[in-house]
């Protein structure tokens, strides 16, 4: 029994060969957004509201990362910065996983508000930007740290370029996320 527990612990702690988050970690991130949306959908009271709120969290977060991630990677290559692209992709995916974990932790709270009041859609409108902001902060710290680790000379100009690139990417991601949210909610 102990051997099985040790094998499970070792495999759970392993990363995939590319350095990206393991599939189980990505699944947990997706599950968090799906659970948050499902908790809000249960309290909507009608089929149209459930269909509207169910996929919202996943669409906004994953959609904004999928649509803006390539711009970050292309900008990084264009500015001739030193961090490997796989490390940057790893930072983006880890931010998604972290955000999904926060959403998974908030799902029971939203389930409670769905069962007891009609406040869950309004709270979701407040929670999604907060979850996104924390995920973007996690990504920004990881992206700048990746560039700092890759720069042997720790050149101030190189790190300043990376910070500027990350700031622009965050602005773009917020705008795209707001547009996706408006399109999903308003139809």
Contacts of 5 (CB under 8 A, 6+ apart): none
- Could you read off the pLDDT of 109-154 as tens digits, one per residue? 888 888 888 777 788 888 889 999 999 999 999 999 999 888 767 6
Query: From CA 119, how far away is CA 130, in angstroms rounded?
Result: 17
Residue 106 counted as domain residue: yes
Read off the pLDDT of each residue in 50-77 and give the average, rounded to a whole number: 88
Residue 156 to residues 114, 128, 141, 160, 182, Cα–Cα distance (Å): 50, 34, 16, 6, 39
Residue 16 counted as domain residue: no
Domain count, the chain: 1
Residue 9 counted as domain residue: no
Residue 172 counted as domain residue: yes
Q: Which domain holds residue 64?
A: 21-186
pTM exceeds cut of 0.95: no
Residue 13 counted as domain residue: no
Q: pLDDT confidence of 1, banded at 50, 70, 90?
A: very low
Residue 123 counted as domain residue: yes
Residue 80 is predicted with a pLDDT of 87
Q: Annotate 131-167 with b (16+ C-beta within 10 A) or e (fewer).
A: bbeebbebbbebbbebbeeebeeeeeebeebbeebbe
């Amino acid at each position: 029994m102990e051997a099985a527990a040790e094998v499970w612990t070792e495999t759970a702690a392993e990363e995939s060969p590319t350095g990206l988050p393991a599939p189980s970690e990505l699944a947990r991130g997706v599950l968090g957004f799906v659970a948050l949306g499902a908790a809000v959908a249960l309290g909507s009271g009608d089929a149209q509201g459930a269909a509207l709120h169910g996929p919202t969290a996943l669409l906004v977060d994953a959609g904004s990362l999928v649509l803006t991630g390539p711009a970050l990677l292309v900008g990084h290559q264009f500015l001739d910065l030193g961090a490997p692209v796989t490390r940057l992709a790893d930072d983006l995916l880890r931010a998604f996983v972290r955000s999904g974990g926060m959403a998974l932790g908030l799902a029971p709270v939203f389930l409670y508000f769905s069962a007891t009041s009609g406040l869950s859609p309004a709270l979701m409108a407040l929670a999604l930007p907060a979850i996104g902001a924390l995920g973007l902060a996690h990504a920004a710290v990881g992206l700048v740290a990746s560039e700092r680790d890759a720069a042997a000379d720790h050149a101030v100009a190189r790190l300043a370029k990376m910070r500027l690139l990350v700031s622009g990417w965050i602005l773009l991601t917020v705008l795209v996320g707001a547009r996706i949210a408006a399109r999903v909610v308003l139809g």
